[in-house]
């Protein structure tokens, strides 16, 4: 019964979904399909851009180096010079996955692919994806704090005074909730709004909204990865 309650709470479904039955569980198949497409895009760009490195970067190599430098600066700003290099791969993976996922929902004609039921959309259009990313972020900042000072990390819950314990615990619960629902809500609202406008006014007017959607999709990826870096930096700073 408890498992059924958790399942009902975690199921936030908008529209029809394409389900796979695996080991007695219903899995959103469209999320896995579009996630694999996103992984393939990221892997292909990384492989091609780094396959023939040159002293003077050009083309995809130049683009890859720009993205790497951008993520390094983001990690350095949020985490600090001493620890940021250890977290560049994590923040880079989070940023690229969210960014490419958001843009794929705006650019790729997923709806041209027919499914038995449901339709394909950006992976970040599903609450399960955004909650997973938020939980990974939570694990990351707990790991950062525990690795730096062991069990002494938990002293932060009674600082600056013991009566702050409930507030500090609640804060750690609200961080993944705010991360996941912010990303999910913005991407879902953007796609629903664009679909409604396309039905009402199919020509000209949706184009500026699509361009705006690309911009906001990039902003959402930046916000998510920036907050992830800030939480990790906060976890490390508490032990200095």
SS3 state of residue 25: strand
Q: Would you state the pLDDT for residue 206?
A: 62
SS3 state of residue 163: helix
CA distance 9 to 152: 34
Q: 20's torsion region: left (phi>0), alpha (psi -120 to 50) or beta?
A: beta
Q: How many residues are listed for the chain in this entry?
A: 240
SS3 state of residue 240: coil
Q: Would you state the pLDDT for residue 167?
A: 84
Q: Would you state the pLDDT for residue 63?
A: 87
Domain boundaries, the chain: 2-237
CA distance 144 to 150: 10
- Contacts of residue 122, Cβ cutoff 8 Å, sequence gap at least 6: 34, 101, 102, 104, 105, 106, 187, 191
Q: Residue 60: in which H helix or E strand, if any?
A: helix 60-79
Taking 50 as the pLDDT cut, the residues of the chain under it are 2-3, 5-10, 12, 239-240
Q: Would you state the pLDDT for residue 91?
A: 93
Q: Would you state the pLDDT for residue 16?
A: 61
- Contacts of residue 113, Cβ cutoff 8 Å, sequence gap at least 6: 120
């Amino acid at each position: 019964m408890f498992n059924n309650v958790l399942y009902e709470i975690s199921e936030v479904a908008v529209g029809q979904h394409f389900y796979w039955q695996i080991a007695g569980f219903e899995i959103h198949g469209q999320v896995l399909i579009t996630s694999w497409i996103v992984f393939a895009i990221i892997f292909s760009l990384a492989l091609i851009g780094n396959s023939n490195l040159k002293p003077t970067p050009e083309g995809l190599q130049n683009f890859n180096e720009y993205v790497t430098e951008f993520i390094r600066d983001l990690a350095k700003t949020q985490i600090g010079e001493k620890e940021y290099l250890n977290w560049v791969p994590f923040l880079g993976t989070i940023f690229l996955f969210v960014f490419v996922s958001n843009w794929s929902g705006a650019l790729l004609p997923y709806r041209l692919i027919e499914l038995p039921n449901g339709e394909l959309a950006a992976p970040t259009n599903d609450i399960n994806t955004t909650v997973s990313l938020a939980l990974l972020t939570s694990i990351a900042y707990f790991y950062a704090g525990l690795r730096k000072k062991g069990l002494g990390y938990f002293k932060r819950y009674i600082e600056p005074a013991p009566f702050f314990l409930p507030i500090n615990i609640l804060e750690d619960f609200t961080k993944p909730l705010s991360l996941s629902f912010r990303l999910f809500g913005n991407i879902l609202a953007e796609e629903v709004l664009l679909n409604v406008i396309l039905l009402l006014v199919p020509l000209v007017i949706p184009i500026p909204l699509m361009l705006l959607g690309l911009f906001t999709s990039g902003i959402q990826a930046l916000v998510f990865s920036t907050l992830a870096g800030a939480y990790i930096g906060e976890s490390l700073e508490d032990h200095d």
